[in-house]
Amino acid sequence: MQNLLKIKKISIWIFIIPFFALNACLILITNFQQFFAPQDIIHNTIPYIDGGASISRTARVFPTYLIFKPAMFITAFLLIQYWRYNFSFMKTVNSKLNYGKFFVFFGIGSAIFLVLHSIFLGIKFDNDLYKFSRRVIILFFIIFELVAQTLLVFNLYKVKDQIKKLINDRILICKIVLVSILIIVAIVSLPIMISPGHIFIKHALEWNYFVGIITFYLLTFFFWKKN
């Protein structure tokens, strides 16, 4: 039960910290131009809808990276704790669950890729290999998160009868639906993401997809009952 309380508390912060950091950077760079160099200013965009800027475009410049990078480091630390506590709890429910070790591996792996992405964000290095590496890192963050979330939900569904007094069944269904949507969107949008052009669509997908990923942790907060 102690692990459940920790999972519940950590999960809400995994949603709150990156969500507010992301949108604080957006608000700053679009509404407080006096704090930015002229070439860094972004005007009149709601990237969730119009795709007017990428996440990295809003977060990689001074002073927004002072918000974004620490927030991502904290989020990565919380992610590691989240997956560790989930693994410990699931072992107490059923030590023979399939893929238990895999979801903690992919979950912690996603946190590591998030740290790497945050470290390299804003570093200007005119090299094609470097630029390609940054894209690969963020791609692996998404893949590892999706795999970890899918495996965890799969295992939770398998033991739902054993833990039915602790969980909200409707939220479990919401988690399954969310993960399914994220997987479908990833597959459908892959041709767009790897093809040239479609910049505004790519940016809008990026913003909404990131919010979709962290919404999984918001649902976790409501998934476990208080008592």
Condensed to tens digits (0 to 9), the pLDDT of residues 130-142 reads 567 778 898 999 9
Residues 6+ apart with CB under 8 A from 140: 109, 113
The structure tokens listed for 211 are 């919010």
Number of domains in the chain: 1
> Which helix or strand (DSSP H or E) is residue 141 part of?
helix 128-158
Residue 184 to residue 144: CA distance in whole angstroms: 16
Q: Which domain holds residue 211?
A: 2-223
The mean pLDDT of 19-25, rounded to a whole number, is 97
Residue 224 to residue 212: CA distance in whole angstroms: 20
% helix, strand, coil for the chain, step of 5: 80, 0, 20
Condensed to tens digits (0 to 9), the pLDDT of residues 104-130 reads 999 999 999 999 999 988 776 655 565
Residue 157 to residue 151: CA distance in whole angstroms: 10
Confidence of residue 99 (pLDDT cuts 50, 70, 90): low
Maximum Cα–Cα distance across the chain: 59
